[in-house]
Structure formats: C-alpha cells, structure tokens
C-alpha cells in the first residue's frame, strides 16, 4: 500500500504539471472505487483551473478554483501523467485532461482508492479527525509520550494510529522502531519519554529520507513521473524476516501486531 512518502513523491511529481493548468474534461471509465466517483465530477471540474496540489496524510488534494478533488491511492493505485489520447489499458480508470495536452491518469487494479469532490476538504469526514503531519513541529516525542500514558496496546500499532500522527504506515513504523531500538511488541504506555523523543526523531528522519529517494517500491508503486521508488534498498528490517540483522547478525523475527505483519531484531530492539 502506498504510504506517506509514496504519496508525497506522487504529489511532487504531478504538481508542477497541474498547478496553473485548466482542466478540459474528465474521462471516467470505472466509477466503482472504494466509494463511487461522483456522477457529476466532469461537470464540476471541467473548465476549472487547478490552483494547488496538496497532501494531507495519504490523501492528495487537487484544489481547483471552486472545490477540491480528494484522491487516495488505496492499496495499489497510482497517478501519473500521460499524453491526452493515449490508449487506456486495463485498470486505468480516470483521466483528468488538461489544456496543456497532458492528462493525469489514475490506475488502480484493486479499486480500493478514492476520488471524491469537496467544497471544504480539510473538514471532510475522512480528514477532519486526522492527527498532525509527522514532518511538522506539531509532532514530536512529547506528543507520543503524553498520548501513550495508560495505553496497553503495542507501540507499533500506537504510532500507526492516524489520530496520533498521520502517515506512519507499516514499512516506516517498522524501520523507525528498529532505528530507535524499541521492540514493536512493547506496551505503548510503558515506554519512557526519552525513548519516545528518540522514536519521533527517527520517524522524521526515515520519512524524510524515503521521500528524497522517491518512496519504496515493493510491488507496483510508481511516482507521478512513472519512476519507481528506491528506498527499499535501504530497508533494515521490513520484509526481511528470517534474514540476518544488518547491525548485529541476529536472525530477524516475524510477528503479527494489530493484524499487520512486522519484523524486528530481538537483540537490537528492547
């Protein structure tokens, strides 16, 4: 599933080609995504100029002159730029055609993504309860420490809770906990302030590094420019269960936490 770095990579890839451009028409070949694409999306968006392309958590906000398209890549989706009129292959569900001659094409084999329209996106039901962005000053170790008090859940699903902080998905939570030396099975409420300060720093560092490397391509993720991400070359633990730890050589262990597979080093992480 595309996580925050992959979505931010997509935003950076498409924004320069969308911002300031006018939409000529919207072609919808398949409306049945996680929620149906609005029947009148073409009417609402066509003729409008795109003002700004933002990201909130894993949602892309394509802000037009009147209204905003909220897009989510789901489990297997991607947005990339193609020439207007380029034949669509299977699973290429939507084209947002621009007067420039380019089209923003949405592909989603599993159809678990979304394209919704809103006049007030930041107060939309999907976004209004989200926690702070991890790469801002609103997120730090003190926030993790305070929100974790009295929580018996494991620390990994705790930091993956979008009400705590957005965008720390499975890949990057696994890597950040390893970098901070914290066992992902530990109770969130039993971890000290000092260790949460370290964890917040590692979350920020790893997410920033992943964005700079174009995200992580494990199966089919590509950015807005059609290129894969390269951060998978720097993964220490994610997807490496049964292999040797790159730091100490101990065999990495698999565990399921919050219904998600996780990998950790029993020696490096306590």
Give me the catalytic one of 34, 198, 246, 260.
260
pLDDT band at 259 (very low <50, low <70, confident <90, very high): confident
Helix (H, G, I), strand (E, B) or coil at 96: strand
Query: Does the annotation flag 25 for ligand binding?
Result: no
> Is residue 145 located within the same domain as residue 101?
no
Residue 157 among the catalytic residues: no
Residue 237 lies in a domain: yes
Q: What is the pLDDT at residue 232?
A: 56
> Is residue 145 located within the same domain as residue 56?
no
The answer to whether the CB of 23 falls within 8 A of the CB of 48 is yes
Give me the catalytic one of 2, 5, 157, 184.
2
Q: What is the pLDDT at residue 224?
A: 46
> Is residue 247 located within the same domain as residue 148?
yes
> Is residue 86 located within the same domain as residue 189?
no
Query: Does the annotation flag 149 for ligand binding?
Result: no
- Report the alpha-carbon distance of residue 251 to residue 146 in Å, rounded: 33
Residue 136 lies in a domain: no
- Looking at 123, 156, 182, the residue that finishes a domain is 123
% helix, strand, coil for the chain, step of 5: 25, 25, 50
Find the domain containing 86 and state its range: 4-123
> Is residue 119 located within the same domain as residue 213?
no
> Is residue 103 located within the same domain as residue 179?
no
The answer to whether the CB of 79 falls within 8 A of the CB of 53 is no
Query: Does the annotation flag 110 for ligand binding?
Result: yes
The pLDDT tens digits for 185-235 are 999 999 999 999 999 999 999 999 988 887 654 444 444 444 544 455 678
Beta strands in 36-123 (DSSP E): 50-56, 59-64, 68-72, 78-83, 92-98, 102-107, 114-118
Sequence-distant (≥ 6) Cβ neighbours of residue 24 within 8 angstroms = 46, 47, 84, 97, 98, 99
Closest by CA to 21, choosing from 65, 61, 55, is 65
The domain that holds 206 is classified in CATH as 1.10.8.50
Q: pTM score, two decimals?
A: 0.88
The pLDDT tens digits for 46-100 are 999 999 999 999 999 999 999 999 999 999 899 999 999 999 999 999 999 999 9
| Domains contained in the chain, number | 2
Helices (H), the chain: 4-18, 41-45, 141-148, 155-159, 170-180, 193-212
The answer to whether the CB of 255 falls within 8 A of the CB of 184 is yes
């Amino acid at each position: 599933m595309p996580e925050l770095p992959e979505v931010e990579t997509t935003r950076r890839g498409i924004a320069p080609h969308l911002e300031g451009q006018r939409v000529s028409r919207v072609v919808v070949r398949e409306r049945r995504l996680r929620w149906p694409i609005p029947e009148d999306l073409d009417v609402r968006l066509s003729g409008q100029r795109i003002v700004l392309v933002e990201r909130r958590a894993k949602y892309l906000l394509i802000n037009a002159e009147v209204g905003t398209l909220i897009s989510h890549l789901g489990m297997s989706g991607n947005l990339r730029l193609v020439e207007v009129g380029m034949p669509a292959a299977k699973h290429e569900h939507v084209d947002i055609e621009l007067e420039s001659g380019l089209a923003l094409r949405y592909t989603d084999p599993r159809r678990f993504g979304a394209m919704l329209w809103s006049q007030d996106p930041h107060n939309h039901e999907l976004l209004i309860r989200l926690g702070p962005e991890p790469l801002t000053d609103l997120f730090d170790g003190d926030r993790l420490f305070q929100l974790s008090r009295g929580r018996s859940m494991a620390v990994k699903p705790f930091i993956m809770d979008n009400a705590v902080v957005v965008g720390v998905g499975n890949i990057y939570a696994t890597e950040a906990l390893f970098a901070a030396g914290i066992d992902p099975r530990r109770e969130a409420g039993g971890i000290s302030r000092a260790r949460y300060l370290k964890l917040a720093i590692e979350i920020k560092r790893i997410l920033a590094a992943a964005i700079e490397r174009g995200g992580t391509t494990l199966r089919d993720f590509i950015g807005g420019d059609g290129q894969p991400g390269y951060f998978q070359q720097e993964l220490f633990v994610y997807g490496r269960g049964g292999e040797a730890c790159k730091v100490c050589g101990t065999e990495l262990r698999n565990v399921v936490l919050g219904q998600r597979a996780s990998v950790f080093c029993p020696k490096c992480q306590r």
